[in-house]
Homo-oligomer: A and B are copies of this chain.
Amino acid sequence: MTVKRIQPGPIMSGAVVHGNTVYLSGQVGNGDDVTAQAKDCLAKVDALLKEAGTDKSRILQTLVYLKDMSNFAEMNAVWKAWVDPENTPARATSQAELAAPHILVEFTVTAAID
């Protein structure tokens, strides 16, 4: 079964396609608050899914990391406006410090291609 790497780099690839499944790297975004960062993250998710030949209506599972769980409702509002309401994925959210102190939220997505 073929493995195809999208936006490959020396440390990680933006996404990896295996058969009918694509695994995305954790996406972080720019912005001064969770709303701005989450929107930017999810735009990057859209772009990677498109490059893999799929879209957000085919997401299977998403792991969400929040630097501060007090931003849960704010993250969720962006998520709810973005996600396909007829095709919501499995999801788990936990609080975690991320790669740099200014990073407030990170989304790690697995999606179906066919």
- Could you tell me the distance between the alpha carbons of A90 and B96 in the complex, rounded to whole angstroms? 19
Instruction: Please state if B25 and A87 are interface contacts (CB–CB under 8 Å).
Output: no
- Count the copies: 3
Known: A69-B99, A76-B11, A94-B65. A21 touches B18 (CB 8 A): yes
Cβ-closest chain B residue relative to A10: B85
- Could you tell me the distance between the alpha carbons of A108 and B92 in the complex, rounded to whole angstroms? 7
Cβ < 8 Å to B, chain A residues 1-35: 1, 3, 5, 8-16, 18-21, 23-26
Cβ < 8 Å to B, chain A residues 76-114: 76, 79-80, 83, 85-99, 106, 108, 110, 112, 114
Mark A residues whose CB is within 8 Å of B: 1, 3, 5, 8-16, 18-21, 23-26, 58, 60-63, 65, 69, 72, 76, 79-80, 83, 85-99, 106, 108, 110, 112, 114
Nearest 9 A/B pairs, CB to CB: A26-B92, A95-B97, A94-B96, A12-B91, A23-B61, A25-B90, A92-B108, A23-B90, A1-B20
